[in-house]
Amino acid sequence: MNSSSRRRRLTAAGLTALAVAVSATACSSGSGGAGTKGADSGTYTLWDPYPQFDKTSAWAKLLDRCGSRAGVKVRRTAFDTSDLGNKTLLAAQQGNSPDVLIVDNPVVSTLAEAGVLTTTGDNKLDTSKVDPNLLAAGQSGGKTYGTPIGANTLALYYNKEVLKKAAVDVASVKDWTSLTAALSKVKKAGKKGITFSAIGTEEGSFQFLPWFWGAGAELTELDSPQAVSALSLWTDWLKQGYAPDSVLNNTQTTSWQEFAGGDYAFSENGTWQLAGAKKAGFDYGVLPVPAASGGTAAAPTGGEFVTLPVQEDTGRYTTSRKLATCLTSTGNLYDTDTTLSYVAPTTEVQDKQVAADAELKPWVDAVKAARGRTSDGLGTRYPKISEQMWKAVQSALSGSKSPKDALRSAQAAAK
């Protein structure tokens, strides 16, 4: 395909792909300018969503080492997560894609369907050690577009002192019934139950998904009885005073701030809050979000994929693959995922993480049960479904509609 026809196709595809899902992970804000590929064939460009890491960081030094091993110089540009997808689409339309792109996993299917990314079948990137449920977030149309650099997800933090005062044994919390019973005891003891984010954005959907999937619901049927039971759970918690009305406007950050105050028994939040938990000033623990009838609910995967965008000079793929392989090697994944507060995407490195820090065990369990938001063939359909989901959650929790009616409207709109 010649470059002009390819750019026309990318432009048409890109116009339908601009509503990409924004990551629900907690990254620092920052900015970066677009880097262009130099004429020097020994320079390879890499774009990532980590503007919080400057050139003196361990991450930047890893990129330099991987470049040296591949015999090239890596020119890195960092963008805010929310900007990176659109910047990548524009660069592809201009024939100026980076050689290596690290991108939030829900955006992979958008870029793949727009024709921006090469498949692992084409670029020969080895994904054989990656956990299948994590790899699924980078798959579209039966093909795989990259490999995860790490994953985060959601679980329940709990305040041990609050539970002790309420005479709640956390080991008894195994399903929705026992969790709700624990919240009731906490309220009677004069403390607060659970806080989470139900804001009308992707963060709200991200936080609702463990309960939605934990009920056995599927994103293709937002108004199923299972889905209604999940939304009814949240709605009832607000009615009973087990969760605050503030969840309607809470981001994951403000929800965490509520929990960090020390009065809440539980907080639904992610691995990115581990550093804050250790500074909170009280003894805490973590357990996976329980499914309705017991076991671990599937929570959505956060985290990024290392991908190789389409290049007019296909001879660049060999070196690009070397860079990607270096970044996701067993040795480097451990250091990188520790820096990013991620769980590694391979069992081998996960075991190493738990051996070094036993507190990561519940997070590894949660990640092993997690699901990609665009998995199951949803691809670029997910953002539209997610929007209707968070609107339904808002309608039900605000009392403007019943859970059943809110989800019925959501399903009709999502179609």
Residues 33 and 43: beta-carbon distance below 8 Å:
no
The single-letter DSSP state of residue 243 is S
According to the model, what pLDDT value does residue 41 have? 63
- Any idea what the Cα angle at residue 175 is, between residues 174 and 176, rounded to 5°? 140
According to the model, what pLDDT value does residue 193 have? 98
Residues 153 and 129: beta-carbon distance below 8 Å:
no
Count CB atoms within 10 A of the CB of residue 152: 29
* Token code pair at residue 7: 């750019």
Domains of the chain: 3-151+302-368 (3.40.190.10), 154-299+378-414 (3.40.190.10)
Secondary structure class of 190 (helix, strand, coil): coil
- For the chain, give the longest Cα–Cα distance: 70
Q: Which residue has the tokens 């009392």?
A: 399
**Which residues partner with 78 through β-bridges?**
48
According to the model, what pLDDT value does residue 69 have? 95
Q: Show Cβ contacts of residue 192 under 8 Å, excluding neighbours closer than 6 positions.
A: 186, 244, 263, 264, 265
* Token code pair at residue 168: 């709640």
* Token code pair at residue 221: 């049927």
209: closest CA among 366, 362, 402? 366
* Token code pair at residue 306: 């290392």
Dihedral sign, CA of 138, 270, 194, 164?
Answer: positive
- Strand 264-270 and strand 154-159: pairing? antiparallel
Secondary structure class of 227 (helix, strand, coil): helix
According to the model, what pLDDT value does residue 287 have? 95
**Which residue numbers in the chain have pLDDT < 70?**
1-41
* Token code pair at residue 298: 């599937």
According to the model, what pLDDT value does residue 275 have? 85
- Strand 143-144 and strand 139-140: pairing? antiparallel
pTM > 0.75? yes
- Chain segment 69-109, per-residue pLDDT in tens: 999 999 999 998 888 988 999 999 999 999 999 999 999 99
DSSP codes of every residue in 313-368: SGGGHHHHHHHHHHHTSHHHHHHHHHHHT-B-SBHHHHHHHHHH-GGGHHHHHHHH
Conformational region of residue 39, where left means phi above 0, alpha means psi within -120 to 50, and beta covers everything else:
alpha
Say how many CA atoms lie within 13 Å of 385 toward its Cβ. Answer: 19
Strand ranges of the sheet holding 192-195, from the earlier edge strand across to the other edge? 192-195, 264-270, 154-159, 284-287
Cα distance between residue 116 and residue 308, in whole Å: 9
How far CA 120 is from CA of 14, 46, 191, 194, 262, in Å, comes to 22, 18, 51, 42, 47
Q: Where would I find the beta strands (DSSP E) of 299-415?
A: 304-307
3-state helix, strand, coil in the chain (%, to 5): 50, 15, 35
* Token code pair at residue 45: 């460009």
Read off the amino acid at residue 238: L
Q: How would you write 271-324 as a 3-class SS string?
A: HHHHHHHHCCCCCEEEECCECCCCCECCCECECEEEECECCCCHHHHHHHHHHH
Cα distance between residue 180 and residue 147, in whole Å: 38
According to the model, what pLDDT value does residue 17 have? 44
**Which residues partner with 46 through β-bridges?**
76, 100
Q: Which residue has the tokens 């075991």?
A: 351
- Any idea what the Cα angle at residue 114 is, between residues 113 and 117, rounded to 5°? 80
Cα distance between residue 195 and residue 99, in whole Å: 42
